[in-house]
Amino acid sequence: MNISHSFPKTQLNSKLVNLIFISSSLGLIIYLFFSSFFLLPNTQLLFQTRTQFSYPTSINHIVFGISSNAKSWPERKEYVTMWWKPDQMRGCVFLDVPLNSSSNNNNNNTAVPSDDSLLPPVCISGDTSRFRYTWRGGPRSAIRVARVVSETVALNHSNVRWFVFGDDDTLFFVENLVKTLSKYDHELPYFIGTNSESFDQNKLLSFSMAFGGAGFAISYPLAKTLAKVLDSCLERYPHLYGGDERIWSCLAELGVGITREAGFHQMDLAGDPFGLLAAHPMAPSVTLHHTDYLDPIFPNMTNRDAIRHLYKAAELDPHRILQQTVCYDRWFQWTISISWGYAVEVFGKHVFLPDVLRVPTTFRPWRKGNVFSFDTREHDEDPCRRPVVFHMNTTVLDGDETISIYKAMTKGNCASNVGSPREIEMIKVHAQKMNLGMKQLLTPRRQCCDVLPSSRREKLEIGIRECHEDEVIR
C-alpha cells in the first residue's frame, strides 16, 4: 500500500523562500569576505583603519618634540619633570650640541632633579648651516627649532595620532591635552594651538599662527606631509624671526590653517599673571608658558614651587583645574568667583556675571605700548578697593569628591567692616571630580555653585555642581 504525504501549498512556499534567503545570505557573506581581500583592497584598508582607531585617543598616541639647547636644558629640565611621565610618554628633547659635565651643572640655587630617567631622551638636532637666516639680530637657532618637527616625525614611532611640540619651559597638563585632542579626527590635517595674548604680536602674524611656547599639535597625516616638504620650504623663509613662524608659513603653503584651542597659553605678559588664571576660558587648561619671566602664580613662593603647588591640585582633578565658577551670596550680597585649584575672588558687592568673566589686568603687556587681544576689566590700584583674593592652600580627594581650601596669602592694612569679605579666614570648596565626556567637550557649559548653609562669616563653604537645565547664574 502506498502512503503519500501531502503538504499545504503555503507551507511549501514558505520553506522554499527561507531556503532561498539563507542561500543568498551565505553567498553574499562569502563574496564580501573574499572581495575585501582580493577584489577590493580599499575596502580592506578601510576595515583595518576603522578597527585600529576604534578606541579613544590616549597619551600613548602622542609623540612629543621639545625644543631646548645645551645651555638652558640643565636648568629648564626641572619644569619638564613636573609633567613628563616616563613610563607613558614618547618623544625627545632636541639640543643643539651634546651635554658635557660643565653644561650639565646647574649654576643657580634651583633644585634640579638629577635622575635623568625621569626625563625624555635627548636627541641632537641635525646640522642647519646650509639654510640662510637673514632676520637682523635674531636667533639662527630658529631654523633648528623648526626642524624639530621633521626630526620628531623621523623617529618613526608606531601607532601615532598626534605630534605635540613645545619649548623646554612649556608646562603641559597632559590629561587635558589628551582630552582636547580627542575632540578631533586625527586622520584629518589639523594644526591645533593658540595665538599670543598680545594684539601686536598677532597682528604681525595675521592672527593665524600657533605660538610655539604655548605648544601646538599636528595630526599624524599632516605632520608626515609637512616633514616631506619642510626643508625645501625653509629655503623660502630666511627672513622670518622664529621657528613657529616657519612652521606656520609652511603649513599655510599646504593650505592648512590654525584650529584655536583656548586651553593653550603663550602668556606673552609681564608681572602678575593672576588675572589670566583667575578668569580662565571655559576649556580644559592645556599649557602654561613663560612662568620664569612672570611673578610667581602663588604669593610667597618661588616660581617653580608655585607651579608644583598648582600641579598638586591638577593631579587630583585635572579636568577642573583653573575652571571658573561663579556664585552669589544673597545674605551679604557677595559675588564669588572660583578658579578651581588656584584662587577665589570675593567681591563685596553684586557684580554682573559678564563683568566677572572679564580678565582683571593684574599684569602688564609683554612689550611697552602693546595692548591685549582679549577683553579686560580694571584692576584697581588701591588694593583695599579690589576683590579679596584667597589662594589655594590644600586640596584632598575624598572618594569622588575634592575638597579644596583657600586662604589669604597676603595680609593688607585695609579696614574691615561688618559684612566685609575681609572677615573671611578660609574658604572650603566641595566639588565632584570632573570627568569631561565628548558632549561636554563639544558643548561646554559653566557649572554652578552654592554658598552652603553651614557657612559662617569666618569660614565660607561652597559646593560646585552642574547647573539645572533652566538655571541662570545671577
Of 213, 229, 260, the last residue of a domain is 260
Do 254 and 352 reside in the same domain of the chain?
no
Amino acid (1-letter code) at residue 61:
H
Is residue 423 included in any domain, yes or no? yes
For residue 343, the cross-strand partners are: 339, 391
93 and 232 housed in the same domain = yes
> Across the strands, what pairs with 327?
336
Question: Which of 211, 234, 260 marks a domain boundary?
Answer: 260
Question: Does the residue 196 lie in any domain?
Answer: yes
Q: By C-alpha distance, which of 114, 87, 91, 82 is closest to 101?
A: 114
pLDDT of residue 112: 42
For residue 50, being part of any structural domain is answered with no
On whether both 109 and 196 belong to a single domain, the answer is yes
The three three-digit cell numbers of residue 76, written as one number: 629648564
**CB distance 423 to 391 below 8 Å:** no
Q: Do 74 and 206 lie in a common domain?
A: yes
**Domain identity same for 105 and 249:** yes
- The verdict on residue 277 lying in a domain is no
Shared-domain flag, residues 251 and 335: no
Give pLDDT, residue 359. 96
* pTM of the predicted model as reported, rounded to 2 decimal places: 0.85
Is residue 109 domain-shared with residue 193, that is, in the same domain? yes
- In this structure, the strands spanning 171-172 and 287-288 are antiparallel
**Is the same domain home to 78 and 200?**
yes
Q: Which of 241, 260, 279 is the last residue of a domain?
A: 260
Alpha-carbon gap, residue 263 to 247, rounded angstroms: 21
Q: Tell me the average confidence (pLDDT) per consecutive run of 10 residues in the chain, 474 residues long.
A: 41 48 51 43 37 74 98 96 97 95 42 70 97 96 98 98 98 98 97 93 85 97 98 98 97 97 96 96 97 96 97 98 96 95 96 96 88 87 92 96 94 79 94 95 96 82 96 95
Looking at the structure of the chain, the number of domains it has is 2
Residues 352, 207 share a domain: no
For residues 260-281, one letter each, b for 16 or more C-beta atoms within 10 angstroms of the residue's C-beta and e for the rest, the string is: ebbbbbbbbbbebbbbbbbbbb
Q: Is residue 49 part of a domain?
A: no
Q: Which residues pair with 164 in a beta bridge?
A: 64, 217
Strand 334-339 with 343-347, pairing: antiparallel
- The boundaries of the domain holding residue 85 are 59-260
The set of residues, in sequence order, having a beta carbon less than 8 Å from that of 35 and lying 6+ positions away, is 43
Are 216 and 112 contained in the same domain? yes
Q: State whether 250 and 338 are in the same domain.
A: no
Do 82 and 215 belong to one domain?
yes
The dihedral sign for the CA sequence 432, 436, 439, 445: positive
DSSP sequence for 248-311: HHHHHHTT---EE-TT-----EEE-THHHHHT--SS---EE--GGGB--SSTTS-HHHHHHHHH
Query: Is 7 contained in some domain?
Result: no
In degrees, to the nearest 5, what angle opens at C-alpha 210 toward C-alphas 207 and 213? Answer: 125
CATH number, residue 95:
3.90.550.50
pLDDT of amino acid 374 = 85
In the prediction, which pLDDT does 201 show?
A: 84
Helix (H, G, I), strand (E, B) or coil at 161: coil
